[in-house]
Structures are given as C-alpha cells and as structure tokens.
Amino acid sequence: MKFWWVGVGAFIFVIGVFILSLLLVKLLWVWTIPDLFPGAVKEGLIAKTISWYTSFKVAIFVAVLFGLGRTSVKK
C-alpha cells in the first residue's frame, strides 16, 4: 500500500516541476526578449509577453530539443 503513495507523490512532483518550468519560461521571456530585440518588440514583430499556452509550447519544444540532443550523443 505504501507504493501507491510514492506514485502519487512522484506525479505531484512532476506536475509541480512542469508548472515551475512554464513560469520560468514566461519570466525569462519577459526579462530577456525586450532587451535583446527592442526594435522588433516596438514594431510588433516579436511579442513582449507570452501566454500560458505559448509558454507550454515553448517548454515542449525545448524538451524535445534536449531529448533529441541526448539521444544523438554516442559514447
């Protein structure tokens, strides 16, 4: 019966880490993008802020890139 609680705890931990990563993506976007591309943000070519859904897509994209990078390394 104790193994059931371990699974629930691991699931809650994974969800927490994922939500934290979404928040980190949003904060890093707002902090870096306007400084790196001020002209593009001013002209409306790049968004100054992103939505939660967009941060979800960016997080999935980065996770896929890291996953592909890890599988292509041969030792």
- Residue 50: CB atoms within 10 A of its CB come to 17
Q: Report pLDDT digits (tens) over 9-56.
A: 888 998 998 899 999 999 999 999 999 999 999 999 999 999 999 999
Tell me the whole-structure pTM to 2 decimals.
0.72
Q: Is the pLDDT of residue 72 over 70?
A: no
| Confidence at residue 8, expressed as pLDDT on a 0 to 100 scale | 86
Of 3 and 24, the one with more pLDDT: 24
> What does the domain layout of the chain look like in residue ranges?
2-72
